[in-house]
Amino acid sequence: MNKIFSQIKNHAMTGVSYMIPTVTVGGILYAIALAFSGGVNVKIQFLANIETIGAAGMALLVPVLAGYISYSIAGRPGLIPGLILGYLAANPVGSAKISTGFLGGLLLGFAAGYLSKWVKGWKAPSFLRPLMPIIVIPLIVSLVIGLLYIYVIATPLGGVVSGLTSWLKHMSTGSAVVLAIVVGCMISFDMGGPFNKIAYTTGVALIATGDGHLMGMAGVAICIPPIGLGLASLILRSRFTEEERNSGKAAIVMGACGITEGAIPFAASDPLRVIPSIMIGSAAGSVVAALGSATDMAPLGGLLVLPVVTGRLMYVLGVFVGVAIVIALMALLKKPIAAK
């Protein structure tokens, strides 16, 4: 059993190692464009072009993760179906137009890899053997898993998303503390996936009505995972790889600019410890912002939006509290790498 878990982790780490440059390069370019534009709307064409390049890098995050997890499992025949299925996870599909983000990419990467490995073991006719790794295996795996994903996962998930969105809007009239806990947990759970998007888009929708309280909670929660994990990787150096420490520096910048995806490399390599930790940290930070009645009237989180935030002291305090909790939990839960 330990050997199986070790193999699964090694496959995940292969995907993470190839994904980190896309997060780092794309995220930093995107953050630069936001920082020099004031953090709200990029209107200068040169900065808009930098933002476009950064967004392209960020768009490769999930496909590369899924592709190289599949490649690690099945070799060359697994790469293309992993990339294709990762693209499906990163983009809205199905009748409800749902994307599952990095968690979906993680799942589809493993599914693509193991199915590719199984098909690779088939005894094909001699005339088909040269075509197996370049056409037959990618075609079968992409089609089978892609259709299963669209019909069995993405489409039913649409109803869940609609229900959660309505529920969250209804909660905005109730207890601020309970709402803050829910928003903080949703933002951090999948870092750009459907739960994150539900909380974020609900906050943006309420801004249009003149209510920025939910966005204030979300704005704090958005930046805590990347900043908290980035600082943890630099402070608790023995608990993180050199690759993670390097990506941690970029994650801090991305977090300040409201890009939660900077935390994904850490979550993908150690989800059972990292995801609960950042959910607790973001929930705590959101509660502090809620208690201080902080509001964010910009459709963005992080520290760049401070000029349009009311209750700035409590907003910033919420970020500090959440980040401190994430670092403390990493110190408690993660073991030094040499001791593993």
pLDDT per residue over 8-53, tens digit each? Answer: 888 988 998 999 889 889 888 888 888 777 655 556 788 889 889 9
User: Quick check: 334 and 273 in contact, CB under 8 A?
Assistant: yes
- The pLDDT tens digits for 254-266 are 999 888 989 999 9
Using alpha carbons, list the distances in angstroms from residue 282 to 49, 183, 227. Answer: 32, 8, 11
Residues 6+ apart with CB under 8 A from 50: 29, 32, 33
- The pLDDT tens digits for 54-76 are 989 999 999 999 999 999 999 99
Crossing angle of the two packed helices 176-190 and 155-171, in degrees rounded to 10: 150
Using alpha carbons, list the distances in angstroms from residue 55 to 26, 197, 261, 323. Answer: 6, 17, 12, 26
pLDDT at 338: 64
What DSSP character marks residue 154? I
Residue 159: Cβ within 10 Å count: 11
Q: Which two tokens stand for residue 302?
A: 């992080």
Low-confidence stretches of the chain (pLDDT beneath 50): 339-340
Question: Locate tokens 């992409």: which residue?
Answer: 142
Give the long-range contacts of residues 31-37, CB within 8 A, separation 24 or more. Answer: 31/253, 31/254, 31/256, 31/257, 31/259, 34/257, 34/258, 34/300, 34/304, 35/257, 35/304
Q: Which two tokens stand for residue 187?
A: 């933002």
User: Quick check: 42 and 60 in contact, CB under 8 A?
Assistant: no
Length of the chain (residues): 340
pLDDT at 340: 46
Question: Locate tokens 């808009």: which residue?
Answer: 48
User: Quick check: 271 and 101 in contact, CB under 8 A?
Assistant: no
